Amino acid sequence: MTETTVFTATKIITMNDSQPEASAVAVRGGRILAVGSLDEMEAWGSFSIDNTFCDKVLLPGFVEAHSHSVVGGFWEYPYVGHFDRVAPDGRHITGCRSIAAVIERLRAADADLDDPEEPLIAWGLDPIYFSGESVRAATLDRVSTTRPVYVHHMSGHIVSVNTTLMRHEGIDAESETVGIVKDGSGQPVGELQGMPAIMSVRSVFERLWSSLNASTAKWRFGHIARNAGVTTASELGAAAVTPEAIRQWQLVVNDPAFPARIVIAYSNRFGGPSDPAQMAAQAARLAEHSSDKLRLGTIAKIWLDGSIQGFTARLRWPYYLNGTNGLWYIAPERFREELLAYHNAGLTVHVHANGDEATDLLLDTVEQVLLASPRPDHRHTAQHNQLASADQFRRMARLGMSANMFINHIYYWGDQHLTETVGPERADRMNALATAKRTGVQFSMHSDEMVTPLGGLMLVWSAVNRVTATGQVLGKQERISLHDALRAVTVDAAYQLKMDHEVGTIECGKWADFAVLEADPFAVDAMALKDIPVWGVVLAGKLHPADGRGRE
Amino acid sequence: MTVLGGYLGAGKTSLLNHLLRHNAGRRLAVIVNDFGSINIDVALVESQEGDTFSLANGCICCTLGDDLAMTMTALLKRTAPPEQIIIEASGVADPVRIAHYGTMPGYRLDAIVVLADAETVRQRSQDRYIGATVHHQLLGAELIVMNKVDLVSPATCQAVRQWLGIVAPGARIVEAVCGAIPLALLLDLSLDRMAVTTDVVGDRLVDHRSSYETWSFAKDGSLDGARLRALVEQLPEGILRGKGILTLSDAPTTRTIFQLVGRRWSLKQGEPWDDALPSSQVVLIGLPGSIDAAAFEQALQ
């Protein structure tokens, strides 16, 4: 008979509303055998006790229904972003809050490279926080005048480079490529805006690109998840699903040392058939590559618009504060064809809709598709859905849809939303979780890693506090309870990935996937939630301590 | 590089099919969003490598891949790089943004062509979701191909043309059936191929010579640069495309290349004449009535 291990903990928060709390959980063959007190475990026969967590708190492993694995590739290089992040190896990396800090970090990285010819690549730069000051060649030349320096901005669309790199690649006053920024005298300043310009430094860009697609990137993504207590993460459509890519995912994720389950959403942005029915059939067929840890063939992703902070989201009237509106990424007719095809193939479709006009198009289209082809339990999910208003949430509920809300935006861009993008009233009701709850919409919350860092605790903190980076509160009426917030990063996110029967609660029969915390979220101040240390995770009963903390 | 824009159903695919069948001897690369309705004649396909089809007539057809910039860079590295690429913008893309890719090293932007469905474009421009997108696409065009004119009455055709003139004042407008417009308007062809001829559309012969006029001019020796610029700046609105290999009096030892698409034109330094005899040759293509040969010649002499 398979061995049974019982884990004891200070407190087990199950997120199973039938049995909210426990002190022991029995695990057999990777699954939860029983939840309760130690005495109650006796019914299952003999077991060994593991007291590793006797002074810790267990939650269901966090579930992230909208993240991207590409961040693991960037971590091959130094991070120079504004906000703190935890590196895959567990090191706490302080944000670079000034240009001086950026230079200091890059100089240290320069000193660490042995080969004097090797380009120095860094990522995460977000000059929006440097009150108008740019980071260009003049700044980066202070890092090195001999080594090429390449800094990828957080937005993904801009790169800053030093003079050495421009010289190597022949970027000069004669360069005509749109996006090579020049000064008043016609000299390039070391800022490349948009892909045509970024391709001017192709050799370095291609080096970065190959890092992003390497299997080490996927391993790092798993480590990032583990360090944040996430046991089920998603790759929501931004990675290729070619046979080679899937083989790489299988090798990495099915390795017993890989600490997370990964759900890969199908998208057509890297090729594949263009006929919607063939596309949907191919997406569904990917299910044959699934395993307990790797899920394919259940979720499809479609993009409708851009981002709010990038001024590319499609907004309802009166649009952005500057009077503009954003961009469509797909034609409405084509969207309907793709949605209908995936829907008919039995997939759950996750639709990127940032602005409220994009949400309108999504609701109109789901309604048409459901009328044409009724289907129970479709779980089609509005992703981001940041400006959705009460009328839209009511419609979403009637259509049986889910919403995955980008609550971290309140902290990371809330201040900009107040003054730059949509103004106070709409900023206050951004990511309106309380409205979603009131109107009966099934909802979860996401980080969109790498847009914001992966992790359930930060999301929960954002949802119950709604505090911006400068400490302002945005829309306190839209705060939700800690219990609802924890549901939204566990079982309610699992629902949207069609895995709520397997993960998301600590409950008999489900996988023994736990987030192990050093403190009880219900016992700390709400503003301290994001700082609760994460010991690591348990995945199918196997212990994966966060790096930098060591095995206890 | 030529950008081909326009909303869904405007006829981009018909035009691309037309182009791949009649490539005017050019090694073209057509980059499409997807192979959806492109009819790649299997008999013409010489080889296929991933998402890239090589055709017997020297053309290739490929999908966008991971990224347009990377796809375009890879095309330049082929053993026989294409002489011109045509990019099909997605139905909602801004063709002007795509045109920025034509400024990458190794490329030159030739034309921004936007198709408009004569039947539906005005209605689409009022659509709640995509109306502004359709307007914006037309506004960015250098050449608007008003397509499917066979499906509307002459009165409607006239009304749509007028309407296009108002919403896209910077664009030149031509009419087409099934996207069949003379290749000389779409592509940067050599001077001896810049002729407007006939096309077979379905089972019909379309004689473009009744819809367009061509003017050719050639002389030994140089032209006066100032006079040439003055002429080009005053060309009538109906002039759609022009090309020239010239000798200008202010640069007598090198070729000067003249390019004109719609309102945009340029004079760029070309190869030196070396031992060849300097000469000047210009071809202009325009709508009927736009060409005043005597006046043009007089302006240059």
Beta bridge partners of B214: B285
Which residues of chain A from 250 to 289 reach within 8 Å of chain B, CB to CB?
268, 270-271, 274-275
Beta pairing class for B60-63 and B28-32 = parallel
Residue A265: what pLDDT? 98
Say whether pLDDT at A301 is over 80: yes
Is pLDDT above 80 for A231? Answer: yes
Quick check: A202 and B73 CB within 8 A?
Answer: yes
B35 touches A: beta carbon within 8 Å: yes
Q: In this complex, is the C-beta atom of B7 within 8 Å of any C-beta atom belonging to chain A?
A: yes
A538 or B43: which leads in pLDDT:
A538
Does residue B49 sit at the A interface (CB-CB below 8 Å)? Answer: no
Q: Which of residues 347-366 of A touch B (CB under 8 A)?
A: 357, 361
DSSP tally for chain A: helices H, then strands E: 18, 24
- For the cut 70, the answer to whether the pLDDT of residue A549 exceeds it is no
Spatial separation of the C-alpha atoms in residues A78 and A106, rounded to whole Å = 8
User: Which pair of structure tokens corresponds to residue A264?
Assistant: 């890969």
Assigned fold of B213-300: Hypothetical Protein Yjia; Chain: A;domain 2 (3.30.1220)
> Does B157 touch chain A if contact means CB atoms closer than 8 Å?
no
pLDDT-derived band at B38 (thresholds 50, 70, 90) equals: low
Cβ atoms of A548 and A90 closer than 8 Å: yes
For residues A545 and A89, give the distance between their C-alpha atoms in angstroms, rounded to a whole number: 11
Option in A177, A275, A329 nearest B105 (CB):
A177
pLDDT at A133: 84
The CA distance from B90 to B54, in Å, is 22
Q: For residue A551, what pLDDT band results from cuts at 50, 70 and 90?
A: very low
Task: Give the pLDDT mean for A58-67.
Answer: 98
Q: Rounded mean pLDDT of chain A?
A: 96
Q: For residue A207, what pLDDT band results from cuts at 50, 70 and 90?
A: very high
- Is the CB of residue A304 less than 8 Å from the CB of residue A387? no
- pLDDT of residue B35 exceeding 70, the answer is no
Structure tokens at A466: 């709604």
How high is the pLDDT of residue A325?
A: 96
For residue B175, how many C-alpha atoms fall within 13 Å in the half-sphere facing its CB? 23
ipTM of the complex: 0.90
- CA trace torsion A78, A81, A85, A86 (10° rounding): 0
The residue of A159, A199, A269, A320 whose CB has the most chain B CBs within 10 angstroms, and thus the best one to mutate to test that interface, is A199
* Beta carbons of B195 and B184 less than 8 angstroms apart: yes
pLDDT band at B17 (very low <50, low <70, confident <90, very high): confident
Q: Give the pLDDT confidence score for residue A385 in this predicted structure.
A: 95
Domain ranges in chain A are: 82-153+158-193, 211-539
Q: Above 60 in pLDDT, residue B37?
A: no
Q: Judge: B7–A200 Cβ closer than 8 Å, yes or no.
A: no
B40 touches chain A (CB under 8 A): no
Nearest CA in chain A to B92: A331
Q: Min CA distance, A27 vs chain B (Å)?
A: 44
Mean of pLDDT values over A177-193: 97
> Tens of pLDDT along B92-102?
999 999 999 99
What confidence category does residue B30 fall into, taking pLDDT thresholds of 50, 70 and 90?
A: very high
Interface residue of B39, B100, B107, B123 to substitute, partner A, most A CBs within 10 Å: B100
- Residue B46 token pair: 């010489």
> Taking the domain B2-209, which CATH number applies?
3.40.50.300
| C-alpha angle B274-B276-B279 in degrees, rounded to nearest 5 | 115
Q: How far apart are CA A61 and CA A314, in angstroms?
A: 34
B136 touches A at CB < 8 Å: no
Average pLDDT score over residue span A320-339:
96
pLDDT > 70? residue B34:
no
Query: Would the pLDDT of B123 be above 50?
Result: yes
- When mean pLDDT is compared across A183-187, A258-262, B121-125, B204-208, the lowest value belongs to B204-208
State the smallest CA–CA distance between residue A75 and chain B in angstroms.
21
Contact A199 B7 (CB under 8 A): no
From A65, A122, A492, A435, select the one nearest A263 (Cα to Cα).
Answer: A65
At the top level of CATH, the class of A211-539 is alpha beta
B-chain residues near A328 (CB < 8 A): 92, 129-130, 133
Instruction: Give contacts of B51 with chain A, Cβ < 8 Å.
Output: 271
Q: Which range, of A390-394, B1-5, B33-37, B208-212, averages the lowest pLDDT?
A: B33-37
Confidence of residue A552 (pLDDT cuts 50, 70, 90): very low
Between strands B172-175 and B52-55, the pairing is unpaired
pLDDT of A299 above 90: yes
Residue A502 to residue A254: CA distance in whole angstroms: 17
Closest residue to A199, CB basis, from B8, B94, B104: B104
For residue B109, pLDDT over 70 is answered with yes
The verdict on A212 touching B (C-beta cutoff 8 Å) is: no
Alpha helix locations (H) across A117-227? 137-140, 163-168, 195-198, 202-212, 215-227
DSSP annotation string for B154-218: HHHHHHHHHHHHHH-TT-EEEE-STT---HHHHS---GGG----EEEETTEEEEGGGT-EEEEEE
B54-77 average pLDDT score? 87
Is the CB of residue A213 less than 8 Å away from at least one CB of chain B? no
Across B206-222, average pLDDT: 91
Taking one residue from A and the other from B, the number of pairs with CB-CB distance under 8 angstroms is 66
The whole-angstrom separation of Cα B247 and Cα B234 is 21
* pLDDT at residue B236 tops 60: yes
pLDDT tens-digit profile of A96-139?
A: 999 999 999 999 999 999 999 999 999 999 988 887 788 999 99
CA distances from A184 to A167, A173, A181, A189, B195 (A): 20, 11, 10, 10, 43
Closest CB to B103 among A177, A271, A275: A177
Considering only A443-447, B60-64, B155-159, which range has the smallest mean pLDDT?
A: B60-64
Which residue in B has a C-alpha nearest to residue A176's C-alpha? Answer: B103
pLDDT in tens, A97-108: 999 999 999 999
List the domain boundaries for chain B. 2-209, 213-300
For residue B56, the one-letter residue type is A
CA distance A192 to A165: 12
